[in-house]
Amino acid sequence: MRIPRVDPKDVSGLADKVVGLGKEIVGEVLDQSSLIQAGEAQQAKGTERLKALREQAKADAHDAKAQALDAKQRSAQRAKAS
């Protein structure tokens, strides 16, 4: 079994969510609203990074499909010209 390579940029969104939640929990326990707000903001940043990753994956899939269709079109044109 091969373990896939993970790009650190891809993990940063999840890390932001985990660290942000930790800050928020500590802020709640210590009753520090600034820490709670910082945790919420970091979680929101992590969410946006994860959304961007999903959108990039969708865009890459669409690009691959377009390239495959382009190759199919060129192949059909060459066959027609022969």
CB 18 within 8 A of CB 45: no
What gap in Å lies between CA 21 and CA 27, rounded to an integer? Answer: 10
Q: Which residues contact 74 (CB under 8 A, 6 or more apart)?
A: none
72, two tokens: 């199919």
pLDDT tens across the length of the chain (82 residues) = 677 676 777 788 989 999 999 999 999 999 999 999 999 999 999 999 999 988 998 999 999 999 999 999 998 888 887 7
